[in-house]
Amino acid sequence: MTSAPSAFRILLGVHRRQIWRAVLAIRDQSRLLTGLIGFFMIGYAALSFALFRTGLRFIGSFPGLGSVLTERLMFLLFAFLFFMLFFSNLVISYTNFFRHRETQFLMTMPIPFQTIFTFKCLESTLLASWAFLYLIAPLLAAYGLAHKVDWDFYFITVVLLTLFIFLPAFGAAWCAIHLARFLDRRRFQLLIVASSAALIIGAIFWLKPEPLSDDMLETRVLAVLDRLLEKTQFAQFPWLPSYWLSSGVLQWAEGARSTAAFFLLILLSNVLFFGFWTFTGTGQLFYAATSEVQSRGSALARWDGLRRWRERRAKFDFGARGIESLLVLFPWMSGDVRALVAKDIRMFWRDTAQWGQTLVLFGLLGVYVINLRHFSQQLTNPFWVHLVSYLNLGACSLNLATLTTRFVFPQFSLEGKRVWIIGLAPIGLPRVVQIKYRLATFASLGITITLMAVSCSMLKMSPDKTAFFLAAVSVMTLTLNAMALGLGTLYPNFKEDNPSKIVSGFGGTFCLILSFLYIVASVVLLATGSPWLRGMADHPWWTATAWAAQIALSICLGWIPYRLGMRKVAHFEL
CA torsion angle 340 345 346 348 (round to 10): 130
**Residue predicted with more confidence, 485 or 329:** 485
Q: 3-state SS of the chain: helix, strand, coil percent to 5?
A: 85, 0, 15
Any idea where the domains of the chain sit in the sequence? Answer: 14-61, 66-195+226-294, 331-574
Query: Looking at the whole model, is its pTM more than 0.75?
Result: no
Does the pLDDT at position 426 exceed 70?
yes
Choice among 278-287, 304-313, 421-430, 534-543 with the minimum mean pLDDT: 304-313
Is the CB of residue 93 less than 8 Å from the CB of residue 171? no
In degrees, to the nearest 5, what angle opens at C-alpha 194 toward C-alphas 197 and 101? Answer: 115
Note the pLDDT tens digit of each residue in 108-150: 888 888 888 888 888 888 888 877 787 788 888 888 887 788 8
CA 172, CA 92: separation in Å to the nearest integer? 9
Note the pLDDT tens digit of each residue in 450-492: 888 888 877 777 888 888 888 888 899 999 999 988 888 888 8
Is the CB of residue 432 less than 8 Å from the CB of residue 422? yes
Spell out the residues 6+ positions from residue 250 whose beta carbon is closer than 8 angstroms to its own: 71, 74
CA 196, CA 202: separation in Å to the nearest integer? 10
Render 219-252 in DSSP notation, one character per residue.
GHHHHHHHHHHHHTGGGG-TTSHHHHHHHHHHHH
CB atoms closer than 10 angstroms to residue 420: 14
CA 511, CA 480: separation in Å to the nearest integer? 9
- Residue 32, judged by CB atoms within 10 A of its CB (0-12, 13-18, 19+), counts as exposed
CA 189, CA 352: separation in Å to the nearest integer? 7
* Among candidate residues 28, 354, 504, the one with its CA nearest the CA of residue 496: 504
Q: What per-residue confidence (pLDDT) applies to 360?
A: 64
* Among candidate residues 246, 199, 317, the one with its CA nearest the CA of residue 72: 246
Note the pLDDT tens digit of each residue in 215-230: 444 445 555 566 666 6
Spell out the residues 6+ positions from residue 346 whose beta carbon is closer than 8 angstroms to its own: 323
